[in-house]
Amino acid sequence: MADSEFSFPRHAVIIGAGAVGLMSAIHALDQGLQVTLLDFNEAGSEEASSYGNAGWLSSHSVIPPVEPGMWKKVPGYLADPLGPLSIRWRYLPRLMPWLLRNLASARRERIRTTARALRSLAVDARLLHQEVAQRAGAGHLIDTSGVLHVYRSRRHFEADAFGWGVRNELGIQWTELEGDALRRREPDLDPAFGFAVHVDEAGHCRNPGAYMQALDAYARARGARRVQGRATGFRIEEGRLKAVLTEDGELACDAAVISAGARSRQLAAAAGDRVQLESERGYHASIAGHAQQATAHTPMMVSEFKVIATQMDGGLRIAGQVEFASFEAAPDWRRGEIMRDIALKLFPGLPRELPASDVKFWLGRRPSTPDGMPCIGYAAACRDIVHAYGHGHIGLGCSARTGRIVAQLLAGQEPEIDLAPFSAQRF
């Protein structure tokens, strides 16, 4: 490490042990750092967004979830509390600055620029996950059979032409499946869906909760220390980090990573950066025990309903929805029921009266910035603190490369991609 600005041995506290924190820990260990993982939840906890997502490891998911002309739809989002995107009225004033910036980022040229930056982070997601998963003894959890984007017809696919055009410009390839070809691949899917594209370069994780537990066990087996607790800030003296502050006292260290998902904003402020970060709530319904009658052979995004259906080890998972409400607002489980009902529409082979015991609902909080790009890079107040959060809809997939980059920053090396678009100082 002779060419590093940092002296070794170096001890990093990684705040938050979701996908991003765990990947950062593993890659920091590879770089020879001493690592402490700090989280108030257990690894694989249902509270982390990394637990209940749709499992996609999709290097082609580079179009931010904004659409040109989206501002016209905002009144509808407010009026329909159970629509695929909704905003709770009471939360609107708080959300407004984030929302305005989000709407401003919906211009076509901005989307192109964002997609280019996200591609640099997401590319090879499946391969990077395979590599770490295999080391962690969890290679069986990573499936490499690609993913589908399903439409009613070619006409509906063509309505998405802008996004696919941008992907094409970035060199992303896909195969079209129409009519019988789609039926052969997905015999359980309602035949009303007659067109799909298959993206071969993508993969998925068959059980994100178990994957997180495996990564955590692997990091600990290699010497990472696990501390149960909640970070509240930092002690910085003369520009150098001395300790992470927690509710139970200080953790002395030379470096820290903020990877606390949707709860990262206050910690970022303590590190000198005012970032715009919202908890973008999503839901899933998981249906156990009916895979013989109805399954998604390939994970599929169904544009019409804005959901992803993935056959997980524990059942068929339908995930999606965007709800803006305060962090602590109670879950609206009617949204879980909507996910379940979409499953019944997509897969006619499911029994119409699903026993309640077969269905489980989950609420998750995506850490989302208004421009759809994460924050990755050194903090303004101190280069010993690294930002690593804000991956929104693609945080599982992007966690592997993010972890590598975080480790490069902790070691004082040049990061492998240009981090300017991801600067926490851009807000």
Ligand X SMILES: Cc1cc2nc3c(=O)[nH]c(=O)nc-3n(C[C@H](O)[C@H](O)[C@H](O)COP(=O)(O)OP(=O)(O)OC[C@H]3O[C@@H](n4cnc5c(N)ncnc54)[C@H](O)[C@@H]3O)c2cc1C
Q: Does 56 bind ligand X (CB under 6 A)?
A: yes
Rule CB under 6 A: which of 231-260 touch ligand X? 231, 259-260
- Provide, rounded to whole angstroms, the least separation between the CB of residue 16 and ligand X: 3
Please name which of 64, 75, 69, 71 lies closest in space to residue 116, comparing C-alpha atoms: 64
What are φ and ψ of residue 155, in 5° steps?
-60, -40
Tokens representing residue 158 in the block: 């063509």
- Provide, rounded to whole angstroms, the least separation between the CB of residue 229 and ligand X: 7
State which residue, 10 or 281, has the beta carbon closest to ligand X: 281
- Provide, rounded to whole angstroms, the least separation between the CB of residue 65 and ligand X: 11
| Sheet with 240-246, edge to edge strand ranges | 231-237, 240-246, 249-252
State which residue, 111 or 394, has the beta carbon closest to ligand X: 394
Candidate list 13, 14, 19, 354; residue touching ligand X; CB under 6 A: 19
Candidate list 60, 167, 284, 335; residue touching ligand X; CB under 6 A: 284
The rounded Cα 222 to chain-centroid distance in angstroms is 25
State which residue, 294 or 301, has the beta carbon closest to ligand X: 301
Tokens representing residue 53 in the block: 């997502």
Please name which of 91, 97, 99, 92 lies closest in space to residue 66, comparing C-alpha atoms: 99
Q: Which residues contact 177 (CB under 8 A, 6 or more apart)?
A: 148, 185, 195, 196, 197, 198
**What number of chain residues touch ligand X (CB under 6 A)?**
43
Q: In sequence order, what are the beta bridge partners of 255?
A: 12
Q: Does 55 bind ligand X (CB under 6 A)?
A: yes
Candidate list 230, 242, 345, 426; residue touching ligand X; CB under 6 A: 230
Q: Which residues contact 319 (CB under 8 A, 6 or more apart)?
A: 52, 53, 54, 282, 283, 284, 307, 308, 310, 339
Candidate list 18, 44, 65, 377; residue touching ligand X; CB under 6 A: 18
Q: Does 128 bind ligand X (CB under 6 A)?
A: no
State which residue, 106 or 257, has the beta carbon closest to ligand X: 257
- Provide, rounded to whole angstroms, the least separation between the CB of residue 390 and ligand X: 8
State which residue, 16 or 163, has the beta carbon closest to ligand X: 16
- Taking the CA atoms of 117, 118, 124 and 125 in sequence, report the sign of the dihedral they define: positive
Taking CB under 6 A as the binding criterion, the range among 78-86, 387-395, 406-414, 419-427 that sits at the site for ligand X is 387-395
What span, in angstroms and rounded, lies between the C-alpha atoms of 75 and 307?
Answer: 22
Q: Does 21 bind ligand X (CB under 6 A)?
A: yes
Q: Does 311 bind ligand X (CB under 6 A)?
A: no
Rg (CA), the chain: 21
Q: Does 261 bind ligand X (CB under 6 A)?
A: yes
What span, in angstroms and rounded, lies between the C-alpha atoms of 10 and 1?
Answer: 11
- Provide, rounded to whole angstroms, the least separation between the CB of residue 3 and ligand X: 30
Candidate list 8, 40, 361, 427; residue touching ligand X; CB under 6 A: 40
DSSP one-letter code for 73: G
- Provide, rounded to whole angstroms, the least separation between the CB of residue 154 and ligand X: 25
Q: Where are the alpha helices (DSSP H) in 60-160?
A: 74-79, 92-104, 108-122, 125-135, 154-158
State which residue, 20 or 29, has the beta carbon closest to ligand X: 20
Please give the residue ranges that form the binding site for ligand X (CB under 6 A): 15-21, 38-41, 45, 47-50, 53-56, 230-231, 259-263, 282, 284, 308, 319-320, 364, 366-367, 389, 391-397
